[in-house]
Amino acid sequence: MAPPPPAAAEPNKDHLGIILQRLMALHPKAIDLSLERIRALLAKLGDPHLALPPVFHVAGSKGKGSTTAFLRAMAEVAGYRVHAYTSPHLVRFNERIRLAGRLIDDEKLIALLEHCERINAGQPITFFEITTAAAYLAFAEIPADLVLLETGLGGVADTTNVIPQPRLTAITPIGIDHVAFLGDTIAKIAAAKAGIIKPGVPCVVGPQPDEAMAVIAAQAAACRAPLIRHGREWTVRETADGMLWRQGEQDIRLPRPALLGEHQIVNAGTAVTCARNLAGFDIPPDAIAHGLRGVDWPARMQRLNKGPLVDILPPGTELWLDGAHNAMAGVALAETLKILPPKPTWLLAGMLNTKDAAGLLRPLAPLMRGARCISIPGEINSLSAEDLTAAARNVGLAAAPAENAQAAMRQIAETIRAEAASAPARVVITGSLYLAGRILAENS
């Protein structure tokens, strides 16, 4: 059958948007951690989550998205067909569901979501739960060799935690985040994340605070799950020409990953450890190396080289976009900026009101000449520009509110011209992956 003409695609986009809006109204809360509703819907759908290819399941406060992206790139270079489920999306919802290497298309996604909506029959269910059920249906229907599942929030009660026997699990670094849902201590948050550990299933563990490691070790012992821990069973370090990964008697010299920042060395090392411990899969060092260099993961220290926002800035000004949204990510972003050539740097920030604004901004403040703060367009849980400005000022940033990204960029551009004259400058946009998605759409 011949494909529809281009004009037919636009109504599908409108149709998809309408469906997604309907699904958001099926539960009074955006987040309500429980496995009861998703299990009930999956049972009505024929339990597609029990018919998946081998599953890799990852949780953590920081780095799980990058780790998943690295592992996907490595496995695909090795010739495997890979499904992947990640969140949130940046520009299009379709980004959350990748089928055998390709983003799910609108027609397939619409059909799956409408089917789940019919079967659910109006019962209370969160948006994340019903859309995850649609992903399971797609993964069960389309042939693949491997499924990569990234938790949405936490682990033990996360909607992705219905797979009884994944092939491998991983826990990336844990920090204080989502305290309203997971608890206000590292130990409580670690207990939620460690809930993805399954009986007898090996678990790769990234660098952890002692309190988190104690909780993870206790959960693994209770499940008799082998742990493959950073600093114990495996290590990674940066070298003059790349990175050196080691586990036991295995040493693999690898190139630097394509994603910028020292923290990405650790994320890459975690992914290498996963690749080398994924039972039944052969991902050789050359595939790992090519995957590290070829990974594509937007809004992780992404340089924006063209577009309307870039055009506002004085010629030669660097514009960077990063999805950092918690204190750990703020530290990592600050360390990354320190390795770039020194330039006068300004910040454009937008954050959700569920996040610790001061925690993110505090490590960035000493590196910035000033900041402009905006609310995230279309996000009901966005911090107001005024509240974020107050938080920025409290940590020592010379900050001011702006109406939107373009207005903020114009103000920064004026300041650069006035203060830096012809000297090269840098602008960093950060605070939320939701903001990053709006920026990518606006700058396209």
Q: What is the pLDDT of residues 78-111, one digit of tens each?
A: 999 999 999 999 999 999 999 999 999 999 999 9
Q: For residue 282, what pLDDT is reported?
A: 98
CA atoms of 15 and 363, how far apart (whole Å): 43
Question: What is the DSSP code (8-state) at residue 54?
Answer: P
Q: How confident is the model at residue 215 (pLDDT cuts 50, 70, 90)?
A: very high
More confident residue, 8 or 420: 420
Place of tokens 């940046």: 90
Q: For residue 177, what pLDDT is reported?
A: 78
More confident residue, 419 or 112: 112
Q: For residue 13, what pLDDT is reported?
A: 67
**What integer best gives the mean pLDDT of the chain?**
94
Q: Is the pLDDT of residue 276 over 90?
A: yes
Q: Are 147 and 53 in contact (CB under 8 A)?
A: yes
Q: What are phi and psi of 414, to 5 degrees?
A: -65, -40
CA atoms of 78 and 139, how far apart (whole Å): 20
% of the chain with per-residue pLDDT over 70: 96
Q: Is the pLDDT of residue 176 over 70?
A: yes
Place of tokens 């770039």: 340
For 404-415, the pLDDT digits (tens) are 999 999 999 999
Q: For residue 422, what pLDDT is reported?
A: 58
Q: For residue 354, what pLDDT is reported?
A: 87
Q: Which 3 state secondary structure label does DSSP give 169? A: strand
Q: For residue 423, what pLDDT is reported?
A: 72
Q: For residue 444, what pLDDT is reported?
A: 87
Q: For residue 32, what pLDDT is reported?
A: 86
Give 421: exposed, middle or buried? Use CB within 10 Å, 0-12, 13-18, 19+. Answer: exposed
User: Which H/E stretch holds residue 399?
Assistant: strand 399-401
Q: Which pairing describes strands 250-254 and 242-247: parallel, antiparallel, or unpaired?
A: antiparallel
Q: For residue 183, what pLDDT is reported?
A: 80
For 103-156, the pLDDT digits (tens) are 999 999 999 999 999 999 999 999 999 999 999 999 999 999 999 999 998 899
Q: Is the pLDDT of residue 171 over 80?
A: yes
Instruction: Name the residue among 78, 73, 115, 79 with its Cα closest to residue 98.
Output: 73
Q: How confident is the model at residue 28 (pLDDT cuts 50, 70, 90)?
A: confident
List Cβ neighbours of 106 (8 Å cut-off, separation of 6 or more).
9, 12, 13, 15, 16, 94
Tell me the average pLDDT across 238-249. 96
More confident residue, 29 or 37: 37
CA atoms of 443 and 437, how far apart (whole Å): 10
Q: For residue 151, what pLDDT is reported?
A: 97
Q: How confident is the model at residue 5 (pLDDT cuts 50, 70, 90)?
A: very low
